[in-house]
């Protein structure tokens, strides 16, 4: 019986969530499995991977073959490196202390990379939000200036209309004296 470490799909349509399982290669994708090793959620950034690395290492040492995607996940979590280091210890190429030291250095570097990526994503999100607020403030200032300009034009038009109305009223109320002067001259 060929045993595979593979993904079993769960979750909603267009929102996949996977279980990392050990299953017979002849079993259906989401069917019966031998053991569940963890979960993989690619929907978040960075992707969330929860994995029982000891169990995965045990199954790899017993001959289970990971699929391509699971191989990448196991490599990302360091299970394949750990297997490689244990093979070196078995062959006598390195000691257990050296293997543990290399493993802890790799874990520290990986944690550092992950934390820097998370902080970079958070920083870019904050920068995008600040840029959006600044752009919105610019648009609001432009709208306020346009509104003030319209109000000023309306005020000037109202003043001109009032002055014109006053001039008409003054013209109507003025005596007909200029017309009398014209008749005397003629």
pLDDT at 8 (0 to 100): 93
pLDDT at 57 (0 to 100): 92
Give pLDDT tens digits along the chain (186 positions): 689 999 999 989 999 999 999 998 888 888 888 999 999 999 988 889 999 989 999 999 999 999 999 999 999 998 999 999 988 988 888 888 888 898 889 889 988 888 888 888 888 888 999 999 999 989 998 998 998 899 888 888 888 888 888 888 777 776 655 555 555 555
pLDDT at 169 (0 to 100): 79
pLDDT at 21 (0 to 100): 94
pLDDT at 177 (0 to 100): 53
pLDDT at 44 (0 to 100): 87
- The DSSP call for residue 33 is -
Residues 25 and 3 sit within 8 Å (Cβ to Cβ): yes
pLDDT at 42 (0 to 100): 92
pLDDT at 178 (0 to 100): 56
pLDDT at 32 (0 to 100): 86
CATH fold of 3-94 reads: S16 Ribosomal Protein; Chain: A; (3.30.1320)
pLDDT at 6 (0 to 100): 92
The set of residues, in sequence order, having a beta carbon less than 8 Å from that of 4 and lying 6+ positions away, is: 22, 23, 24, 25, 64, 65, 66, 67
* Buried-state track 102-130, b at ≥16 Cβ within 10 A, e below 16: beeeeeeeeeeeeeeeeeeeeeeeeeeee
């Amino acid at each position: 019986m060929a045993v595979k470490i593979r993904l079993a799909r769960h979750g909603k349509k267009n929102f996949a969530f996977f279980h990392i399982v050990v299953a017979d290669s002849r079993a259906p994708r989401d069917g019966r499995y031998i053991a569940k090793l963890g979960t993989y959620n690619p929907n978040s950034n960075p992707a969330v991977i929860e994995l029982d690395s000891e169990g995965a290492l045990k199954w790899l040492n017993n001959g289970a073959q990971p699929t391509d995607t699971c191989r990448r996940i196991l490599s990302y979590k360091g299970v394949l490196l750990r297997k490689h280091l244990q093979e070196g210890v078995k062959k006598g190429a390195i000691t257990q202390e050296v293997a543990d030291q290399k493993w802890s250095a790799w874990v520290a570097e990986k944690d550092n990379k992950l934390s820097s990526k998370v902080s970079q994503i958070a920083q870019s999100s904050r920068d995008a939000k600040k840029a959006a607020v600044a752009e919105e403030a610019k648009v609001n200032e432009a709208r306020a200036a346009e509104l003030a300009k319209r109000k000023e034009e309306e005020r000037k038009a109202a003043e001109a209309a009032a002055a014109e109305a006053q001039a008409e009223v003054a013209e109507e109320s003025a005596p007909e004296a200029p017309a009398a002067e014209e008749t005397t001259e003629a």
